[in-house]
Amino acid sequence: MMQDRRSLLKTAAAAALTPALSAVPGRARAQAANTLKIGVLNDQSGVYRDISGPTSVACVRQAIQDSGITARGVNVEVVFADHQNKADVGATIARQWLDRDGVDVIVDVPNSAVALAVNAVVREKNRAYFNSTGATTDLTGAQCSPNTVHWTYDTYMLARSTGGAMVKTGGDSWFFITADYAFGHALERDTTSFVQAAGGKVLGSVKHPLQSTDFSSFLLQAQQSRAKVIGLANAGTDTINSVKQAAEFGVTRRGTKIAVLLMFINDVHSLGLKAAQGLVCTESFYWDLNDRTRAFTSRVKGNLGGNMPAMSHAGCYASVLHYLKAVGDMGVAAAKASGADAVARMKAIPTDDDCFGAGQIRADGRKLHPAYLFEVKSPEESKGPWDYYKVLQTTSAAEAWRPLAEGKCSLIAS
Amino acid sequence: MFEDLLFQLELGLPQVVLGLVNGAFYALLSLGLAVIFGMLNVINFAHGAQFMMGAFVAWMLLNWVGIGYWPALVVAPLIVGAIGVLLERTMISKLYKLDHLYGLLLTFGLALIIEGVFRNQFGSSGLPYAPPEVLSGPPVDLGFMFLPKYRLWVVVAALAMSLATWLVIEKTRLGAYLRAATENAALVQAFGVNVPRMVTLTYAAGVALAAFAGVLAAPIYSVNPQMGSSLIIVVFAVVVIGGMGSILGSVVTGFGLGLVEGLTKVFYPEASSTVIFVIMAIVLLARPAGLFGRA
């Protein structure tokens, strides 16, 4: 706990003045052999805080508790830091954690640009990396790594589930409003290939800077293109502002549809059902999906400060839980010695957790589970706060993810 | 050739209108900053946080007390203005004799703290705030585009508020006192004017302007703790381009830069967040005091 507070304070100071060094001082150099250290690296203060942030940390703690590993004499410490959505800050913290502070695992890491930067650092240091909130398929494709598991979702799965469903219902011409960084580009690229494969056309796209406030001129450009579907390849408050302003400008009144390619339940909460009703989106977890997800949510809910777990948080929980299972199998010393070995063990045993049910991790690091296409309920349908989704369609684990061969991951012998 | 031009016009004209709407926010926010800087010589970095507080207070009034949009337009600025009085009295007033830098650091720190507190309490994804019934109906048809009624109202309200502020400062006795006090506070005090109180109220007024803009923004933008910090940097650029402390400068530049930014979003959207700073650099090189500033 002390360590946590220290790292938080330091991070806050770094955030305020220089985007430079932060996190824990070099005190914990000598690690006890039976202590594992998990670092949650995410956005604690910006647009992605609610879909990652403190809720991810709470979910990781829940996983440690549920794993029962401490009863077997293994210590697990959790540290966390704010990467401020900057790839250089994220990579610096990761390097410091792995070099100096004896962190064994890095978890979460929203923002694809930061996710890829951390991916390279963890591989170089041979530790383990479970990305939950990053979206880019490059993590299991061109930049795949034996040290990485990409758990929760990716741009291919979103494009297939949401994009595919839109094309099926007649949305065959698209215009993209895209966040101008790795994630947005990947999402637009993957959705485009689905639209085109289904015989649709992409009429154009605009790329906007991350954390824009005004989307009206982009929406207007989209409208002028006369596309049937406006695809939002952005996330967080950018998506919220886009949807809010699309409603304001009556974009959908002439039959144009909005495809929100990435939305989390926290975004729906922020939009309010009045503005969000009828939107479709894809997540791989919803707290009210089945008995197991409800059980998980009721266990963790008290520690979230009013937030609810989205798929990104569930992924942090499930990946750490599975890792601790693998550690129990192979022993702490072996897991600490080589992150790649720990990940290989994780791939060898099937996964099973309350959030995603039974599944497995593929050779390229892709975790496989079903994807759910949800429709946001109307205010009348909703029974109360956070009762937001109904399932429209389920894409099976076998179909939801990019086929192994298409990813061109170097770990796969072709 | 002519048709091509017509097409460009059809594409550009709506963007001009939207640019003006965004410019309205820049103008309102930079107006408050200019008032505070002009009279107090303090660079109020907490302005974005105060803008955000305006939006949040409107949300709280609606959801906790049941006070709707129109009263909130008056009540929220008053509440946030009162908090401004508190800040000025307890902290900012201690720094008037020191270098500008101290005021800047203090208000920047305050902004970070305020944002942090709101983030802890309300999270980062924001809260919904619906526009008032009267202004929410279908968008108005302007011939070349559909403009939501609410956006139209924003432009009108911002222009009216800018005009009122300008009138108060340039044409009233109170404004004359204020301007005199910036020139020579000791002399004005010698005439029996309570200068410290006037300064406090000026700060409060500047803060209230930010909160007013915040309430205006609540139905359009997501009401979230970082809504101010994403605007404030642009607004500072607006103030610098317009000339620090110039009321007219900040209003004209606010609308003007909104326009430029809007057009950039059509022709080269990737640069829309940078174009203002490029202009700032050019203006500073050519006219260091800003477009309307007195060197």
| Ramachandran bin of A310, using left for φ above 0, alpha for ψ from -120 to 50, beta for the remaining angles | beta
Contact list in B for residue A56 (CB cut-off 8 A) is: none
Question: What does R_g of chain B's alpha carbons equal in angstroms?
Answer: 20
Q: Which two tokens stand for residue A163?
A: 């994009």
CB A59, CB A300: distance < 8 Å = yes
DSSP annotation of B228 reads: H
H or E segment at B9? helix B2-40
Beta strand segments in B8-139, E: none
**Are B76 and B208 in contact, with CB atoms under 8 Å apart?**
no
Strands A357-361, A367-368: pairing kind: antiparallel
Residues on chain A touching B130 (C-beta within 8 angstroms):
272, 274
3-state secondary structure chain A: CHHHHHHHHHHHHHHHCCCCCCCCCCCCCCCCCCEEEEEEEECCCCCCCCCCHHHHHHHHHHHHHHHCCHHHCCEEEEEEEECCCCHHHHHHHHHHHHHCCCCCEEEECCCHHHHHHHHHHHHHHCCEEEECCCCCHHHHCCCCCCCEEECCCCHHHHHHHHHHHHHHCCCCEEEEEEECCHHHHHHHHHHHHHHHHCCCEEEEEEEECCCCCCCHHHHHHHHHCCCCEEEEECCHHHHHHHHHHHHHCCHHHHCCEEEECCCCHHHHHHHCHHHHCCCEEEECCCCCCCHHHHHHHHHHHHHCCCCCCCHHHHHHHHHHHHHHHHHHHHCHHHHHHCHHHHHHHHHHCCEEECCCEEEEECCCCEEECCEEEEEECCCCCCCCCCCCEEEEEEECHHHHCCCHHHHCCCCCCC
Low-confidence residues of chain B: pLDDT under 50: none
Which one of B11, B119, B124 has the shortest CB-CB distance to A224? B11
ipTM of the complex in this document: 0.79
Interface-testing mutation among B155, B222, B273, with chain A (most A C-beta atoms within 10 A):
B222
Residue ranges covered by each domain of chain A: 32-153+289-370, 156-285+371-399
pLDDT(A17) > 70: no
Contacts of B134-143 with CB under 8 Å at 24 or more apart are B138/A250, B138/A253, B139/A248, B139/A249, B139/A250, B142/B17
Of B208, B199, B166, B162, which is closest to residue B180 (Cα–Cα)?
A: B199
Measuring CA to CA, how many Å separate B166 from each of A206, A310, B161? 38, 49, 9
Closest by alpha carbon to A176, among A222, A240, A136? A222
The confidence score (pLDDT) of residue B63 equals 93
Q: Return the residue of B nearest to A15 by Cα.
A: B112
Residues of A in contact with B19 (CB under 8 A): 217
Q: What is the pLDDT of residue A250?
A: 83
Phi, psi (deg, nearest 5) at residue B110: -60, -45
Q: Are strands B146-147 and A35-42 parallel, antiparallel or unpaired?
A: unpaired
Q: Give CATH for domain A32-153+289-370.
A: 3.40.50.2300
Q: How far is A164 from chain B (nearest CA, A)?
A: 27
Under a CB-based contact definition with an 8 Å cutoff, are residues A293 and A354 in contact?
yes
Neighboring chain B residues of A49 at a CB cutoff of 8 Å: 119, 123-125
CA distances from A372 to A134, A230, A269, B214 (A): 18, 21, 18, 37
Closest Cβ–Cβ partner in B130, B131, B265 for A217: B265
Crossing angle of the two packed helices B195-217 and B149-171, in degrees rounded to 10 = 170
| A228 CA to centre of own chain | 28
Residue A50 has pLDDT above 60, yes or no: yes
Regarding predicted confidence, which is higher, A119 or A236? A119
pLDDT over threshold 60, residue A322: yes
Cβ–Cβ below 8 Å for B123 and A306 = yes
A chain contacts of residue B21, beta-carbon cutoff 8 Å: 216
Instruction: Dig out the tokens for B13 from the structure.
Output: 């004209």
User: CA torsion B174→B175→B178→B179, rounded to 10°?
Assistant: -150
Which residues in chain B are closer than 8 Å to A12, comparing Cβ atoms? 116
Closest CA to A364 of A201, A183, A138: A138
Q: Do B18 and A214 touch (CB under 8 A)?
A: yes
Q: Nearest CB to B125: which of A12, A236, A253?
A: A236
Lowest mean pLDDT among A23-27, A313-317, B47-51, B62-66: A23-27
Question: Taken in order B109, B110, B112, B117, is the CA torsion positive or negative?
Answer: positive
Interface of B with A (CB under 8 A): 10-11, 14-15, 18-19, 21-22, 109, 112, 116, 119-120, 123-128, 130-131, 138-139, 145-146, 148, 150-151, 219-222, 224, 226-227, 230-231, 262, 265-266, 269-270, 272-273
Residue A33 confidence (pLDDT) above 80? no
Phi, psi dihedrals of residue B123, rounded to the nearest 5° = 75, -175
* Separation of alpha carbons A395 and A157, rounded Å: 9
Residue A170 has pLDDT above 80, yes or no: yes
DSSP B142: -
In this complex, do A217 and B124 lie within 8 Å of one another by their Cβ atoms?
no
Percent of chain A at pLDDT above 70? 92
- Quote the CA–CA distance of A175 and A353 in Å, as a whole number: 38
Of B124, B150, B272, the CB nearest to A208: B272
Separation of alpha carbons A314 and B129, rounded Å: 29
With CA atoms as reference, the chain B residue closest to A270 would be B127
Q: Which residues of A touch B112 (CB under 8 A)?
A: 16
Q: Which amino acid is at B264?
A: T
CA B115 vs. chain centroid, Å, equals 17
Model confidence pLDDT, tens digit, residues B7-23: 666 667 888 888 888 89
Please report residues of B whose CB lies closer than 8 A to that of A224: 10-11
Q: What does pLDDT average to over chain A? A: 89
Strand extents, DSSP E, B68-167: 140-141, 146-147
Minimal Cα–Cα distance from A242 to chain B, Å?
Answer: 9
Contacts of A270 in chain B (CB under 8 A): 125-128, 222, 224
What pLDDT, on a 0 to 100 scale, did the predictor assign at position A262? 94
Q: Rounded distance, CA A378 to CA A273, Å?
A: 6
What is the maximum span of chain B, computed from C-alpha positions, in angstroms? 69
Cβ within 8 Å, pair B222-A224: no
Residue B62 confidence (pLDDT) = 94
Q: Which of A105-109, A220-224, B286-290 ranks highest by mean pLDDT?
A: A105-109
Q: How many CB pairs under 8 A join A and B?
A: 118
Cross-chain CB nearest to A307 (options B123, B146, B224): B123
CB-CB: which of A180, A240, A272 is closest to B270? A180
pLDDT given at position B97 = 82
Q: Could you state, in order of their start, the residue ranges of all structural domains in chain B?
A: 16-118+132-286
Question: How does DSSP classify residue B41?
Answer: -
* Closest Cα in chain B, distance from residue A219 (Å): 11
Q: Work out the minimum CA distance from A272 to partner chain B, whole angstroms.
A: 6
Could you tell me which CATH number the domain at A156-285+371-399 has? 3.40.50.2300
- CATH number of the B16-118+132-286 domain: 1.10.3470
Contact assignment for A217 to B266 by CB distance below 8 Å: yes
In this complex, do B128 and A207 lie within 8 Å of one another by their Cβ atoms?
no
Cβ-nearest to A270 among B19, B120, B126? B126
The better pLDDT of the pair B96, A406 is held by A406
Distance from C-alpha of A323 to C-alpha of A108, rounded to nearest angstrom: 14
Q: How confident is the model at residue A16 (pLDDT cuts 50, 70, 90)?
A: very low
Which residues in chain A touch residue B276, judged by CB atoms under 8 angstroms apart? none
**Closest residue in chain A to residue B150, using alpha carbons only:** A248
- On the question of pLDDT at A21 being above 60, the answer is no
Residue B127 CB coordination number (10 Å): 20
Smallest Cβ–Cβ distance between B222 and the set A48, A217, A237 belongs to: A237
Note whether A209 and B273 are within 8 A (CB). Answer: yes
pLDDT score at B272: 85
pTM score of the predicted model? 0.82
Angle at A310 between CA A212 and CA A42, to 5 degrees: 60
Which of A45, A84, A214, A386 to probe by mutation at the B interface, max B CB count within 10 Å?
A214
B21 vs A251, B6, B92, B189, CA distance in Å?
18, 23, 32, 41
**Is the pLDDT reported for residue A29 higher than 70?**
no
